[in-house]
Copies of this chain bind each other. A is one copy, B any other.
């Protein structure tokens, strides 16, 4: 397409320093007000909004915009003019040329106050709202900062296959794929392959990618497809080393977000982005159980926390420590994956941990059992068919180093950063048992 001018594009945020000059602007027509002799348009680009004016007597010029509808995309050239009475920056653009690039339907399918489901149905519109623009700016900054930590610490990036010949975890909640006359399964996590990379001498690896859970669950924090952030680290001494790495990593990433977007988050979501202090508080599962018992929420025979228990604990820790994060460690083995390493002194407990942020689990991690014979024994104890697991078990037959790692939910971190009630407010496109579109 040929634009109306060879001028380079300017952005709204820079206009105050361009008074008197001709500029080219690209963006969406947010509002259009046609008066008898004048047309007023508010143009929005990623950096802000500005008023455009067009005198209607210059008949030839106005034609290009006569069909203009709200949210159409336009390219406009004009002169930046001081206009102290205009609320949007005290300036306006006197239009000299204009082109409608994408004409929007006269009737928009949603408004900013439509419900969340409508927002998702019409993502091409709802993504334009300032709060949603911010979500993905923050996501970008957050991941950049995570990666700068990994780079500083010499991690390698891996891309593990999502199509697997066997289940990556229990098999209970796995999607099946027709695969050239056989069946493949969608990876529930990169767990097996990041451990394979460690066995392969890669020492420190990370992956950011999709993970799939065929869970018929409709909570505000579960998706059937989600972005999983995974790390695996070799030559660790124990799971405390993993937690120490995770808390430094998270603090580094949240600090970057707070510095770059703290003000905008506060303005648009009313939430303060506060870099957490180190170290994070830690409780063993048994300590957590005792506290809950004392607070009138006994867990009974449960080997994990229920969401009510998580909430109560978070409240208690916030009161006693002032901290929003809480590691729960040393979970009973019977509730954890078979490959979590057991404590030598208490084989009924694992070297595993969860990380809660304001009472919601955002991480599961553990030192893994890297010794082939013990791993076989732990799988057999669960009644797993060793044949079906043979590819995985083989990873540990040729001298795998001690290691551990964690899986972190990107969407859950964003939920907490923005204080949203649903993961779907911070996800590009939601996938639930009832939603596969758009």
Contact = CB atoms under 8 A, between A and B. Distances in A.
B175 A175 contact: no
Given A162-B225, A225-B163, A399 B201 contact: no
Interface stretch (A191-199, A270-278, A282-290, A358-366): A191-199
Contacts of A88: none
A91 to B, nearest CB: 22
Contact of A396 (B102, B199, B208): B102
Interface in A215-241: 216, 224-225, 227, 234-235, 237-238
Contacts of A397: 104-105
Contacts of A137: 156
Contact of A161 (B109, B197, B234, B431): B431
A304 interface: no
Contacts of A401: 26, 73, 101-102
Interface string A43-86: 00010000000000000000000000101110100000000000
Contact of A159 (B151, B402, B410): B410
A201 B436 contact: no
Interface in A138-168: 139-140, 143-144, 147, 151, 155-166
B438 A394 contact: yes
Category for how many chain A residues contact B: 35 or more
A248 interface: no
A178 interface: yes
A172 interface: no
Interface string A388-400: 0001101111111
User: In the complex this chain forms, how many copies of it are found?
Assistant: 2
Nearest to A26: B235
A1 B341 CA distance: 10
A102 B162 contact: no
A63 to B, nearest CB: 18
Interface string A86-121: 000000000000000111110011000000000000
A252 interface: no
Contacts of A126: 200
23 contacts: A26-B234, A28-B201, A46-B203, A71-B398, A101-B401, A101-B402, A102-B199, A102-B400, A124-B196, A124-B395, A127-B197, A127-B200, A140-B157, A144-B157, A159-B210, A161-B429, A162-B225, A163-B224, A163-B436, A165-B436, A180-B216, A209-B210, A395-B438
Instruction: Give 7 nearest A-B pairs by CB, closest first.
Output: A127-B200, A165-B436, A104-B399, A124-B199, A391-B438, A72-B399, A165-B437
